[in-house]
Structure 1
Amino acid sequence: MSQHFDAVVIGTGQGGSPLAVQLARSGKRTAVIERHLFGGTCVNVGCTPTKTYVASARAAHVARTASRYGVDIGGEITIDMARVKARKDEVTGASRDGIEKWLRGTPNMTVFKGHGRFTGPHALEITSDDGATQDIDADMIFINTGTRATVPHIDGLDSVPYLTNSTILELTKVPEHLVIVGASYIALEFGQMFRRFGSRVTLLVRGDRILTREDADIARAMQDVLVREGVEFRFGAQADRVERSGEGLRISLGDEPIVASHLLFATGRTPNTDNLGLDRAGIPVNRHGLIDVDGQLRTNVEGVWAIGDVNGRGAFTHTSWNDYEIVAANVIDGESRSVDTRIMTYAVFVDPPFARVGMSEEEVRKDGRDALIATMPMTRVGRARERGETDGFMKALVDANTKRILGAAIYGIEGDEVIHTFVDIMNADAPYTTLQRAMHVHPTVSELVPTLLGDLKPLR
Structure 2
Amino acid sequence: MKSHYDLIAIGAGSAGLGIAIAMKRLGFSVLLVDRYDHRIGGDCLNDGCVPSKALIHVSRLIHNAKRTQPFGWKTEGKTDLAAVMQYVRERQDIIRVHENADYLRQTEGLDVELGTAKFVGSQEIEISRDNQPGRLVSARNIVLCTGSKPQTLTVDGIEQVNIHTNETLFSLETLPERLLIVGSGPVGIELGQAFQRLGSQVTVVGAEDRILSKELPDVSDILQKRLTEEGIEFKLSRTVKSFPHPNSAELVLENGSTELVEFDVVLVAIGRTFNFDELNLSAAGIDLDDKGRIKLNDYLQTTNEHVFAAGDAAAGLPAGQRYFSHAAELHVSTLITNFITPGQILDKKLSYDYFSWVTFTDPEVATFGLSEDDLKKRTISYERVAYDFAHDDRAVIEDYAYAKLILFTEPSGINPFGTRILGGTMIAPNAGELAQELILAIQKKLTAGDFFNKIYPYPTASRINKSVWVDHISDNLPDVVKKAVNWLY
- Asked if 1:279 is matched to 2:255, the reply is no
2:79 aligned partner, one-letter code: I
- Asked if 1:370 is matched to 2:381, the reply is yes
Q: What is the alpha-carbon distance in structure 2 between the residues aligned to residue 279 and residue 435 of structure 1?
A: 53
1:411-422 maps to which residues of 2 (within 5 A)? 411-422=427-438
Q: Per the alignment, do residues 276 and 432 of structure 1 end up closer, same or farther by CA in structure 2, a change over 3 Å counting?
A: farther
Name 1:163's counterpart in structure 2.
164
Q: What is the alpha-carbon distance in structure 1 between the residues aligned to residue 245 and residue 68 of structure 2?
A: 40
Name 1:99's counterpart in structure 2.
99
Name 1:150's counterpart in structure 2.
151
Name 1:317's counterpart in structure 2.
325
1:342-353 maps to which residues of 2 (within 5 A)? 342-353=353-364
Q: What is the alpha-carbon distance in structure 2 between the residues aligned to residue 323 and residue 267 of structure 1?
A: 24
* Residues 249, 262 of structure 1: 8 Å contact kept: no
User: Displacement of 1:21 after TM fit?
Assistant: 1.9
Answer with 271-280 or 89-98: which moved more: 271-280
- Asked if 1:308 is matched to 2:319, the reply is no
Q: What is the alpha-carbon distance in structure 1 between the residues aligned to residue 352 and residue 323 of structure 2?
A: 16
1:34 aligned partner, one-letter code: D
Q: What is the alpha-carbon distance in structure 2 between the residues aligned to residue 190 and residue 310 of structure 1?
A: 24
* Residues 15, 324 of structure 1: 8 Å contact kept: yes
* Residues 60, 197 of structure 2: 8 Å contact kept: yes
User: Displacement of 1:427 after TM fit?
Assistant: 0.7
Name 2:41's counterpart in structure 1.
39
* Residues 145, 272 of structure 1: 8 Å contact kept: no
| CA deviation string 1:112-161 (max 9, x = no partner) | 11111112211112222464522222111111111111113212223433
Q: Per the alignment, do residues 442 and 276 of structure 1 end up closer, same or farther by CA in structure 2, a change over 3 Å counting?
A: farther
Q: What is the alpha-carbon distance in structure 2 between the residues aligned to residue 399 and residue 230 of structure 1?
A: 40
1:252-291 maps to which residues of 2 (within 5 A)? 252-253=251-252, 255-291=258-294
Name 1:444's counterpart in structure 2.
460
2:154 aligned partner, one-letter code: H
Name 1:396's counterpart in structure 2.
407
Task: Identify the match of residue 453 of structure 1 among 469, 472, 483.
Answer: 469
* Residues 298, 349 of structure 2: 8 Å contact kept: yes
State the TM-score, normalized to the length of structure 1.
0.92
1:25 aligned partner, one-letter code: R
Q: Per the alignment, do residues 157 and 27 of structure 1 end up closer, same or farther by CA in structure 2, a change over 3 Å counting?
A: same
Q: What is the alpha-carbon distance in structure 1 between the residues aligned to residue 369 and residue 453 of structure 2?
A: 21
- Asked if 1:381 is matched to 2:381, the reply is no
SS in structure 1 opposite 2:262?
Answer: strand
Q: What is the alpha-carbon distance in structure 2 between the residues aligned to residue 54 and residue 445 of structure 1?
A: 22
SS in structure 1 opposite 2:40?
Answer: coil
Task: Identify the match of residue 63 of structure 1 among 62, 65, 71.
Answer: 65
Q: What is the alpha-carbon distance in structure 2 between the residues aligned to residue 15 and residue 208 of structure 1?
A: 34
Task: Identify the match of residue 328 of structure 1 among 329, 333, 336.
Answer: 336
Q: Per the alignment, do residues 366 and 325 of structure 1 end up closer, same or farther by CA in structure 2, a change over 3 Å counting?
A: closer
* Residues 66, 75 of structure 2: 8 Å contact kept: no
Q: Which has the larger radius of gyration?
A: 2
SS in structure 2 opposite 1:217?
Answer: helix
Q: What is the alpha-carbon distance in structure 2 between the residues aligned to residue 421 and residue 274 of structure 1?
A: 43
* Residues 63, 77 of structure 1: 8 Å contact kept: no
Q: What is the alpha-carbon distance in structure 1 between the residues aligned to residue 4 and residue 430 of structure 2?
A: 49
Identity across matched positions, percent: 26
Q: What is the alpha-carbon distance in structure 2 between the residues aligned to residue 75 and residue 21 of structure 1?
A: 48
| CA deviation string 1:375-402 (max 9, x = no partner) | 1222222222222333321111112168
* Residues 207, 239 of structure 2: 8 Å contact kept: yes
2:172 aligned partner, one-letter code: L
State the TM-score, normalized to the length of structure 2.
0.87
Q: What is the alpha-carbon distance in structure 2 between the residues aligned to residue 279 and residue 220 of structure 1?
A: 46
Q: What is the alpha-carbon distance in structure 1 between the residues aligned to residue 430 and residue 449 of structure 2?
A: 23
User: Displacement of 1:303 after TM fit?
Assistant: 1.8
Q: Per the alignment, do residues 406 and 27 of structure 1 end up closer, same or farther by CA in structure 2, a change over 3 Å counting?
A: closer
* Residues 13, 40 of structure 1: 8 Å contact kept: yes
Q: What is the alpha-carbon distance in structure 1 between the residues aligned to residue 229 and residue 83 of structure 2?
A: 27
1:83-94 maps to which residues of 2 (within 5 A)? 83-94=83-94
Q: What is the alpha-carbon distance in structure 2 between the residues aligned to residue 35 and residue 199 of structure 1?
A: 35
Q: Per the alignment, do residues 115 and 436 of structure 1 end up closer, same or farther by CA in structure 2, a change over 3 Å counting?
A: farther
Q: What is the alpha-carbon distance in structure 2 between the residues aligned to residue 221 and residue 341 of structure 1?
A: 26
Unaligned runs of 5+ in 2: 316-320, 477-489
* Residues 125, 137 of structure 2: 8 Å contact kept: yes
User: Displacement of 1:360 after TM fit?
Assistant: 3.3
* Residues 274, 289 of structure 1: 8 Å contact kept: no
* Residues 341, 347 of structure 2: 8 Å contact kept: no
Name 1:238's counterpart in structure 2.
239
SS in structure 2 opposite 1:256?
Answer: strand
| CA deviation string 1:356-413 (max 9, x = no partner) | 1123345545655432222122222222222233332111111216833121110012
Task: Identify the match of residue 421 of structure 2 among 405, 416, 432.
Answer: 405
Q: Per the alignment, do residues 166 and 123 of structure 1 end up closer, same or farther by CA in structure 2, a change over 3 Å counting?
A: same
Answer with 187-196 or 384-393: which moved more: 384-393
Query: How many residues get paired?
Result: 454
User: Displacement of 1:322 after TM fit?
Assistant: 2.1
Name 1:185's counterpart in structure 2.
186
Name 1:176's counterpart in structure 2.
177
Name 1:429's counterpart in structure 2.
445
Q: What is the alpha-carbon distance in structure 2 between the residues aligned to residue 388 and residue 304 of structure 1?
A: 52
| CA deviation string 1:75-121 (max 9, x = no partner) | 41421100110011111122223211431214652211111111221
Q: What is the alpha-carbon distance in structure 2 between the residues aligned to residue 333 and residue 440 of structure 1?
A: 41
Q: What is the alpha-carbon distance in structure 2 between the residues aligned to residue 300 and residue 138 of structure 1?
A: 17
Name 1:217's counterpart in structure 2.
218
| CA deviation string 1:248-292 (max 9, x = no partner) | 344454531212101111101113434321122111122333323
* Residues 272, 310 of structure 1: 8 Å contact kept: no
SS in structure 2 opposite 1:15?
Answer: helix
User: Displacement of 1:31 after TM fit?
Assistant: 1.0
User: Displacement of 1:26 after TM fit?
Assistant: 3.0
| CA deviation string 1:35-74 (max 9, x = no partner) | 2301011111111110000000100100111134x351x2
Unaligned runs of 5+ in 1: none
